[in-house]
Chains A and B, each alone.
Chain A
Amino acid sequence: MTVLELRDVHRVHGTGETAVNALDGISLTVEPGELVAVMGPSGSGKSTLLNLCGGLDSPTSGLVLVDGTSLRSLSRKQLAAWRRKRIGYVFQDLNLIASLTAAENVALPLDLDGVRRSRQQAEKALSEVDLDGYADRFPDEMSGGQQQRVAIARALIGERRLVLADEPTGALDSRTGETVLRLLRSKVDAGAAAVLVTHDARHAAWADRVVFLRDGVVVDVSSRDQPEELLSTP
Chain B
Amino acid sequence: MSVKHGLLALLQRGPMYGYQLRVAFDSATGGTWPLNIGQVYTTLSRLERDDLVAALPENEGQRPYEITTQGRDELKKWFATPVQRGDRPRDEVAIKLALAITTPGVDVAKVVMTQRTATMRTLQEYTRLKTQPGDLPWLLVLDAMIFQAEAELRWLDHCETSLVRYEPKAVPATTDVEVPR
Contact = CB atoms under 8 A, between A and B. Distances in A.
Interface string B111-135: 0010011001111111111011110
B105 interface: no
Nearest to A202: B150
B153 interface: yes
Interface in A146-185: 182, 185
Contact of B129 (A41, A182, A233): A233
A222 B124 contact: yes
Interface string A198-227: 001110111110101000000111111001
Contact of B31 (A182, A202, A205, A231): A231
Contacts of B117: 220-222
B153 A230 contact: no
Interface in B128-172: 128-129, 131-134, 138, 142, 145-147, 149-150, 153-154, 157, 161
B126 A205 contact: yes
Contacts of A202: 123, 127, 146-147, 150
Task: Give the size category of A's interface with B.
Answer: 20 to 34
Given A41-B157, A206-B127, A219-B113, A231 B32 contact: yes
Interface string A130-156: 000000000000000000000000000
Nearest to A227: B125
B111 to A, nearest CB: 13
B74 interface: no
Nearest to A186: B131
A220 B116 contact: yes
A113 interface: no
A15 interface: no
Contacts of A41: 157, 161
B24 to A, nearest CB: 10
B146 A205 contact: yes
Given A232-B31, A234-B31, A201 B128 contact: no
A228 interface: yes
Contacts of B129: 231, 233
Interface in A46-62: none
A231 B30 CA distance: 7
Contacts of B138: 233-234
A201 B122 contact: no
B179 to A, nearest CB: 15
A185 B124 CA distance: 13
Nearest to A203: B127
Contacts of A200: 150
Contacts of B142: 231
Contacts of B147: 202
B30 A233 contact: yes
B124 A220 contact: no
Given A182-B131, A233-B129, A234-B138, A201 B120 contact: yes
Given A182-B131, A227-B125, A233-B134, A205 B120 contact: yes
B113 A185 contact: no
* The 3 residue pairs across chains A and B that have the minimum distance between CB atoms: A222-B120, A205-B127, A205-B123
